[in-house]
Amino acid sequence: MLLALVAGLVTGIVATTIDDAGASALIRVTDPVGSIWVNALRMTLIPLVVSLLIGVIASVPNARSTGRLGIRALVVFVVFLVATGVVSILIGPALVAMLPIDAATTAALQTTDAATIATNAARMPTIGQTLIDIVPSNPIRAAADGAMLPLVVFSIALGAAATRIPAEERAVLVQFFRSLSDAMLVIVGWVIAVAPIGVFALAVGLGARIGLTAVGVIGGYVVILSGVVILATILMYGAAVFGGRVSLSRFARAVAPAQAVAFSARSSLAALPALLEGARRWLVLPPVVTSFVLPLAVSTLRLSTPIMWSITLPFLARLYGVELGYAHLALLVGNGILLSFAVPGLPSASLFLMAPFLAGLGIPVEALGIVIAADAIPDLFKGVLNVTGHMASATIVARHAPAEVVAEGPQLVTSVRSVL
């Protein structure tokens, strides 16, 4: 995808330099191809998020024993996510504002007039209305409208309710949603397989419209995003040392192999075996923590998500001339934090979930194709951040785990392994 991005930018820039009429004809061909690819991504979002959430929550074994440890783990996850979001909101937009994006660049990218953009921005709901809409009066309508947050709330409620029905009935429900999520992930795999084509088509239009400016702007975005991710990773070391009461050298030695795997594979899920071994060998965490909290963290904790939303949304808003205040940005990042618990373990997956929110801001959804392609470099560092957060959260949970839950460790480990 990164090669396709570069090739598309070069093609668009060269075509415009040689012949404006030829460049316009080329854009008329490539733009629909890029739009089709983006639409293919968007069609998987709602069924994938809903099925993943319901399937995971409804299949939790030993709800009482798991709940004691799980609640503490989730509290740590939320604290980490909120803290990461606050830091990135304070730093990210200020850095994005320093990028050299002039009015001519913004005008070249806008596919709608200023009045339409202003109307779309004015239609954005207030914070109070958004809080009211969190509980959907009609989940089917919410799905049709692409309202992700109400669907997340509905999915969590349905998954939790499923844990209270007879085991036989719950098994049917869990199997259905697991099968649905597996099938949707296959479709996502197909879409990602042809991603270079879609990214190339989108990049041609971008290169033709803003020329060489695109190279500097996208490069600046990559540097800012990577830098904030690295900063958040450093902060995770401090959280482990002060919250988990372990030495810096022990924690660094325990997490280093998992970081290497995540960096090379661009996948925190692939680093789970290295995380388990590091927690057992160097941190000597209780087996119940390593067998439950670490898999739970790998499955649900995406510390890179609030950073992505805090930087990517202001970047796209500025690129397309849309005003985005701090209040709305904080609300959008809050949405991203909630949705992060349902992000599938795919490269740049958190970016896909932005699609419904971009339309409300008046930003073309096709803009996602550009940042997804540019995400190839920051994604290397995001995997390192995520696995560092996973190990830090397990260290803190182990420090404060209830004694009775640790005593039930062998039974809980067996139950969790049966699910995994």
Mean pLDDT confidence for 227-250:
93
Average pLDDT for residues 119-130, to the nearest whole number?
Answer: 49
Q: Among 36-40, 352-356, 411-415, where is mean pLDDT lowest?
A: 411-415
The answer, yes or no, to whether residue 144 has pLDDT greater than 60, is: yes
Question: What one-character-per-residue DSSP string does 209-221 give?
Answer: HHTTHHHHHHHHH
Q: Length of the chain in residues, anyone?
A: 420
Selected residue with higher pLDDT from 34 and 113: 34
Angle 248-265/213-244 helices, nearest 10 degrees? Answer: 150
Q: What percent of the chain has pLDDT over 90?
A: 15
Q: How many domains does the chain have?
A: 1
Cα separation, 312 vs 221, whole angstroms: 8
What is the predicted pLDDT for the residue at 343?
Answer: 63
Q: Which domain holds residue 340?
A: 2-419
Average pLDDT over residues 165-178: 86
Contacts of 111 (CB under 8 A, 6+ apart): 364
336 pLDDT band, cuts 50/70/90, is confident
Residue whose structure tokens are 């160097």: 282
Please state, rounded to an integer, the average pLDDT across all residues of the chain: 76
pLDDT band at 390 (very low <50, low <70, confident <90, very high): very high
Distance of alpha carbon 377 from alpha carbon 373, whole angstroms? 9
CATH number of residue 79's parent domain: 1.10.3860
pLDDT above 70 (res 342): no
Predicted local confidence at residue 71, as pLDDT: 81
Quickly tell me which residue has 């004809």 as its tokens: 25
- When computed from its CA atoms, the radius of gyration of the chain, rounded to whole angstroms, is 22
Of the candidates 202, 215, 218, the residue with the CA atom closest to the CA atom of residue 318: 218
Residues 36-86 have pLDDT tens digits of 877 776 677 678 767 876 776 776 655 555 566 778 888 999 999 999 999
Q: How far is CA 194 from CA 5, 26, 199, in A?
A: 13, 20, 9
Mean pLDDT confidence for 327-353: 72
